Amino acid sequence: MNAAKNNEATELTYRDACREALRDAMSRDERVFLMGEDVGHYGGCYGVSKGLLEEFGPERIRDTPLSENGFTGLGVGAALNGMRPIVEIMTVNFSLLALDQIVNNAALLRHMSGGQFGVPLVIRMATGAGRQLAAQHSHSFEGLYAHIPGLKVLTPATLEDARGMLWTALEDPDPVIIFEHVMLYNMMGTLSADAGALPIDKAAVRREGKDVSLITYGGSLPKALAAAEELSKNGVEAEVVDLRTLRPLDDETILASVRKTRRAVIVDEGWRTGSLSAEISARIMENALWDLDAPVARVCSAEIPIPYSHHLEEAALPQTPDIVAAARGVTG
């Protein structure tokens, strides 16, 4: 769909918003191109680039050989030579094949070349579970990437962010990874016609509350918002913090919320052990321990390879009732 010319809001999906962001970037800047497996005629494995081949041609919407480490490395090369590549990796599990290029190369080139070679590369990928695709297509490794200095890690969870974070990422001089949660793609919403670039270093409070902070990101945001509604029925007003960016973490927003509500529940689809949720929890301990009225609670995925079967997948993932229960646990 084409962006409306007036200021009216249009109804669309998160997937459409991702596509609008791509289209806008490609139209704005000749240096931008998209490459990945099946991004052309197929339109990308989650349909994000559908129609863009016709608009921008096969050189700019480029189908690649099946070689995640290969084309991520090519992206690094193209970025070094003045382009603004967007590399699409089908799903986060496959990005592990490209870890050498992402972690041992893109993330540290600037530093190890004494500032001579920066890598303005954007890598987009789907993440998360819920579509019955079994362990090798369903994990959440955002926390793993957030561990790596030299990377910026974005997790747009709203249509505005899907539309607005890409351009800012492309303007960034360093590598940026954008995670699109698979359960968000069909989410409907509206986007005003003048929707545009948004910051990539700030968390957002999606719902104000005074009793407990639900700190989350990505595919867990709608679940946390639903939990907040549920809690509200029993007089518990939850504040929902959408991290938006996992690296750098916006400590200020997190801590301000926790200091206000004095209770925190972290909702993270990653596994608990050694996770992003552990990092956030530690920062709260380090900076706001005396403001807390209860220990920090966490809702994470079961520490097993995410199973295929729907009911097992549901059981393994953080769900709204789990968040409600955890929030009740800390609010007493």
Partner 1 sequence: MKPRSRLALHVPAPSSRPGDKPDFSGLDIPEAGEIRRPPCDTAEAEMRDLPYALIRVLDDEGAPQGDWAPRLSPDVLRGGLRAMLLTRAFDERLFRIQRQGKTSFYMKSTGEEAIAVAASMALGAKDMCFPTYRFVGWLMARSHPLLPLVNQIFSNEKDPLKGRQLPILYSAREYGFYSLSGNVGSRFGHAVGWAMASAYKGDDKIAMGVIGEGTTAEGDFHEALTFASVYRAPVILAITNNQWAISSFSGIAGAEATTFAAKALAYGIPGLRVDGNDFLAVWAAIRWAAERARLNLGATLIEFFTYRAEGHSTSDDPAKYRPSEEAGAWPLGDPVERLKQHLIAQNEWDEARHEALIAELTEEVRAAVKEGERAGVLGQSKPSVKEMFENVFEEPDWRLIEQRREMGS
Q: Indicate which residues carry an active-site annotation.
A: 68, 137
CB of 90 to ligand TPP, least distance (A): 5
- What's the closest the beta carbon of residue 137 comes to ligand TPP, in angstroms? 7
What is d(CA 116, CA 102) in angstroms, rounded to the nearest whole number? 18
Rounded-to-10 torsion of CA 116, 248, 272, 274: 40
Work out what residue 55 binds among ligand TPP, partner 1, none; the CB cut-off runs from 5 to 8 Å by kind: none
Closest residue to ligand TPP, based on beta-carbon distance: 94
CB 56 within 8 A of CB 85: no
| Contact partner, 65, from ligand TPP, partner 1, none, Cβ < 5-8 Å per class | partner 1
Burial (CB count within 10 angstroms: exposed 0-12, middle 13-18, buried 19+), residue 309: exposed
CB of 231 to partner 1, least distance (A): 21
- What is the contact surface with ligand TPP in residues (CB under 6 A)? 37, 66, 68, 90, 94, 97
Taking the least distance from each CB to ligand TPP, the nearer of 75 and 150 is: 75
* Plot region of 38 (φ>0 → left; ψ -120 to 50 → alpha; else → beta): left
Q: How far apart are CA 175 and CA 153, in angstroms?
A: 9
Interacting residues toward partner 1 by CB under 8 A: 37-38, 40-42, 45, 58-59, 62-70, 93-94, 97, 132-137, 273, 302-305, 307-312, 315-316
Q: Where are the beta strands (DSSP E) in 138-203?
A: 152-154, 176-181, 188-192
Q: Which is nearer to ligand TPP, 134 or 205 (CB)?
A: 134
CA nearest neighbour of 89 among 64, 138, 126, 133: 126
Indicate the residue among 92 and 284 with the shorter CB distance to ligand TPP: 92
Q: Please, what is the minimum distance in Å from the beta carbon of residue 267 to ligand TPP?
A: 29
